[in-house]
Structure 1
Amino acid sequence: MSFFTEFVRDPRTVSAVAPSSPALSDVAAAVVPRTGSPVVVELGPGTGAITAAIQRRLRGQGRHIAVEINPRFAHQLAARHPAVEVVHADATDLPGVLAQRGLSQADVVVSGLPWAAFTASHQRNLLSAVLDVLPPHGAFATFAYVHTRWAPPARRLLRSLQSRFDEVLTGRTVWANLPPALVYHCRRPMADMSPGLMSARERGDMVQIR
């Protein structure tokens, strides 16, 4: 009910009517290593469904930083998960968020952001922020809803991921989610591209979608 209330208040930043299911959360969090002490950043944690899955994989190790733009979600998340460093901020400020905490990189970034609801420029800014903090061995995971997978914003996102990561794997459809979704697991980030180095196809998307 809390999630649905926030969706009604601001559907631009809360694009689903319910939190991610445990099944989807486990698939999204699968990029988090079970060993070592990784730095894991979570973008758009909402009420904490994926947060809980990440915490289970970390098992008290490493560092988990959750960046949430919704102040009510951020407050609730901090209360539910005291081991998580919850930051009320915009995900596009990710490099600055980490710098304030003495970090320049994250080993893994897991996103619950509503990419299909974002403009082309906002998607680029978010991906640039992610790439700015991922080292060559870094990994990124995000998901897309099946019913929006073929819409222009979702197709643009997938092409952007494929042009910015050496490996992009599309997971199986998680039907036990409302709505059904699939996860993109991305590894080995490549150098971010400036607008002048964007592919002709991406530039064409910008002209058509704006």
Structure 2
Amino acid sequence: MPCASTDGARFFRSWLQDPLRVAAIAPSGAPLARLMTENIAAADVPVLELGPGTGVFTQALVDRGIGEENLTLVEFDDEFADLLRLRFPNATVVHGNATKLKGMQLFAGGQAGAVISGLGLLSMSPRAVMSILSGAFSYLRPSGTFYQFTYGPQCPIGASILDRLGLEAERVGGTWRNLPPAAVYRIRRRTPSTPSI
């Protein structure tokens, strides 16, 4: 089980080393983790998690009954990747950059039902965000969903990027019980409109 004080120190140290990459000074809290994972069910496995950090969202998924063996965690930070391997020994931990998802060949068979993203998209270039989303959706089955949180007042993925990728975003909730307060968005493929007769 993660230790909040030790994880906070790790997170803060990583943030000091590279604020734009880590994008937060503390791990996400339990209320945000519950909000991010509350719509994930056994039918959604396998689940892909991007930027899991110390594993707060990962633990919330496990607490919801998602087996570690159904989780693939992509983490860029060396220390966090090692920590995740210790905490979730049956999960697949990939030490890599989420902007290069398409070249990773993450799943031997089948497609993910959900992606959980702990990445700080607001601190990334539009090109990086496009690469992350297009890579993530290449692993999602047609009905799959991508969950992203933000500390900002609106969806962290701009309308032009959503349009270009044929996606739509919906705010599914927010919590003031996080430092800082956060909102969660669900991103899906747009359903083609049926022509009227």
Q: Normalising by structure 2, report the TM-score.
A: 0.83
Per the alignment, residue 4 of structure 2 pairs with none
28, 33, 41: which is aligned to 1:25? Answer: 33
Q: Take 2:83 and 2:11, find their aligned partners in 1: how far apart are those partners?
A: 11
Q: Which amino acid aligns with 2:51?
A: G
Letter in 1 for 2:94: V
**SS at structure 2 position matched to 1:58:** coil
Deviation at 1:187, TM superposition (A): 3.0
Distance 1:51 1:130, change over 3 A: same
Q: For 1:87 and 1:31, how far apart are their aligned partners in 2?
A: 24
Q: CA deviation at 1:167?
A: 4.9
Letter in 2 for 1:38: V
Aligned to 2:61: 54
C-alpha distance in 2 between matches for 1:73 and 1:44: 9
Q: Equivalents in 2 of 1:105, 1:68: separation in Å?
A: 20
Change (3 A) 1:112 1:161: farther
| 1:104 shift after superposition | 6.0
Partner of 1:137: 143
Could you give the per-residue CA deviations for residues 123-173 of structure 1, whole angstroms, max 9, x where no partner exists? 11111111221121111100110xx336xxx65x14257534665320332
Structure 2 residue aligned with 1:79: 86
Aligned residue number for residue 182 of structure 1: 183
Whether 2:47 is the aligned partner of 1:40: answer yes
TM-score (norm 1): 0.78
In 1: Cα distance, 2:106 partner to 2:140 partner: 17
1:4 to 9, 12, 31: 12
Instruction: Work out whether residues 69 and 92 of structure 2, in 8 Å CA contact, stay in contact via their aligned partners in 1.
Output: no
Q: Any unmatched runs of 5+ in structure 2?
A: 1-8, 193-197
Q: Secondary structure in 1 aligned to 2:79?
A: helix
Identity of aligned residues (%): 34
Question: How much does 1:30 deviate?
Answer: 2.2
Q: Matched residue of 1:128: which SS?
A: helix
Check 1:160–1:43 CA distance in 2 against 1; reply closer, same or farther (3 A cut): farther
Aligned match of 1:149: 153
Q: Which runs of 5+ in 1 are unaligned?
A: 192-210
Distance 1:117 1:128 in 2: 18
Residue in 2 aligned with 1:93? 100
Distance 2:173 2:110 in 1: 33
Query: What code does the residue aligned with 2:182 have?
Result: A
For the residues of structure 2 that align with 1:181 and 1:120, how far apart are their CA atoms? 21
Count of aligned pairs between the two proteins: 183
2: CA distance, partners of 1:4 / 1:185: 28
Q: Check 1:72–1:186 CA distance in 2 against 1; reply closer, same or farther (3 A cut).
A: same
The letter for the 2-side match of 1:183 is V
State the partner residue of 1:122. Answer: 128
Larger strand proportion of the pair? 2
